[in-house]
Chain A
Amino acid sequence: MTTKLGLPTPGEMLSPLAVQKRTVRLTGWRLALALSSLVALLSVVRIITGAQELDSAGTIAAAIGFAIPLGMAGLGGLWSERSGVVNIGLEGMMILGTWGAGWAGTYYGPWWGLLAGVVFGAIGGLVHAVATVTFAVDQIVSGVAINLLGLGVTQYLSTLAFPTQPTQSPQIAPISTFTFPTMPDWIPLIGGDSFTDWCASIASNGWFFVSDVASILRAITYDVPYTTFIAVLLLPVTFYVLWRTAFGLRLRSCGEAPYAAESLGVNVYLHKYVAVIVSGGLAGFGGAVLATVLSGIYREGQTQGQGFIGLAAMIFGNWRVGGLASGSLLFGYTQAMQLRSGEAVHALLLVITIGLVLFAMWKAYRREVTPAVGSVLIAVAVFLWYRSTDVLPDQVAYVTPYVATLLVLSLASQRLRMPAADGRPYIKGQEH
């Protein structure tokens, strides 16, 4: 059933055998089902353990807040790596972004600070692009150099911009926040009383599932900084640009097969340049949000390797927008947990136990014995740990994001597929 040229016919390409059998298509219904089962799982554990902070509105708002810088750094990594340039320098670009936000935020206002963060990050991206695209040097080495430069340049500029106290900026004015307005009385259900208060009162009742949904609603409608909306909006925008436009197709083809793209007349250098500069801008925006919204101040060493965690979130998300978003939320949630009581972190052990048991059942259903048995064993170990302790020490809470990173990457690494030409230097017309 092949044509004269030996190419598969459209029918063949679409036949289920030609595509990998095990891929599960993510439809709206499946997504809704997965989300609601996650909420139900959290709800069950919350009721069993009585740890209200497991998914209180405060925890969820904090998780979303922490996820934004990670997500933006990861989104930057996505742009860059989809065009075939590995970007270890995200951390350095993020540092540049925090400084830009600290400097312009102090002297001109928070929105100018955000803009300056984006511009500074993009300058870092430009340096990375010049080194890796024009000079085709090793992308890891260039990234490390960007990280060093980002740190050094910001420290040096700080001594000039903030002479009194060079390690941090003065307080940056807070960014305006959005709260769901009070609706007129005649609207059923949400009219009259302030909607957010209504959500909070339902959340405080502690009902199964309903209260958890209410606390999520409260978290996303009460006192949300506008930067959160911008950041969340950037996810579908990125998806649309990279996967639904001709420009995005060309950009991704530079990451999969640059010489094939070149033979079809794509300007590979230009597309890589655009991708890496946008990448720097996004990482800078992440850093700027970190400085302006999360801490309200620029402080030296503020990023704490969040650029790298963002990169991990992107790898965990299999170089896709949706996966990246869920990865960042997961890491954001573990970071938010650090600030909560030890009781909530302790309850998290039970969540992990139930999650592993469900995972084992799924694997057993698929007749994959080894992963199933392995998950059950780990589940038993975690459950014993849960039973034998009452409160986890603080250190465990601090280490959770990193353990989560390691676990997720080692468990998921089998199914991940990065762009085919990712990290390979490209020199025009020199295919061997």
Chain B
Amino acid sequence: MFGSLLWAFLDVSRQILDLTGVSKEIVTIMQGVAVLSVVIAYELVRRYGIRAQQREVGRQLAADAELAKAAA
């Protein structure tokens, strides 16, 4: 939804940019960069999430082990 809005905005701004002296080819470059950076950002967030989860699990296990040791 937001993606398509951004796309439409970029496509439309092509004409305006031409009038204001910014080269309109920037639009295609921006679209390409946007696609690439979005998928890369998703992947990085996913990897960070996995790592955070693992850290959390590790901390939990360590805490449990401490508790068990204390109880014994």
Contact = CB atoms under 8 A, between A and B. Distances in A.
Q: State the main secondary structure of chain B at its contact with A.
A: helix
A149 B32 contact: yes
Interface string A121-148: 0000001000100011110011011111
Contacts of B13: none
Given A152-B25, A155-B25, A156-B25, A141 B31 contact: no
A159 B21 CA distance: 12
Interface string B9-52: 00000000000000101111111110110011011100000000
A352 interface: no
Contacts of B39: 131, 135, 137-138, 141-142, 145
A135 B31 contact: no
Contacts of B23: 156, 159
B36 A142 contact: yes
A156 B14 CA distance: 13
A131 B29 contact: no
Contacts of A152: 25-32
Contacts of B42: 137
Contacts of A147: 32
Classify chain A's interface size: 20 to 34
A153 interface: yes
B15 to A, nearest CB: 15
Given A131-B40, A136-B43, A137-B42, A156 B31 contact: no
B2 to A, nearest CB: 17
A146 B32 contact: yes
Nearest to A156: B25
A151 interface: yes
Interface string A153-187: 10110010000000000000000000000000000
Nearest to A148: B32
Contacts of B25: 152, 155-156, 159
Nearest to B30: A152
A144 B35 contact: yes
Given A149-B36, A152-B25, 14 more contacts: A135-B44, A136-B43, A141-B39, A144-B35, A145-B32, A146-B32, A148-B29, A149-B28, A149-B32, A152-B26, A152-B29, A155-B25, A156-B29, A159-B25
Q: Which 5 A-B pairs have the closest CB atoms?
A: A152-B28, A149-B32, A148-B32, A152-B29, A155-B25
9 contacts: A135-B40, A137-B43, A142-B36, A142-B39, A145-B33, A148-B28, A148-B31, A153-B29, A159-B25
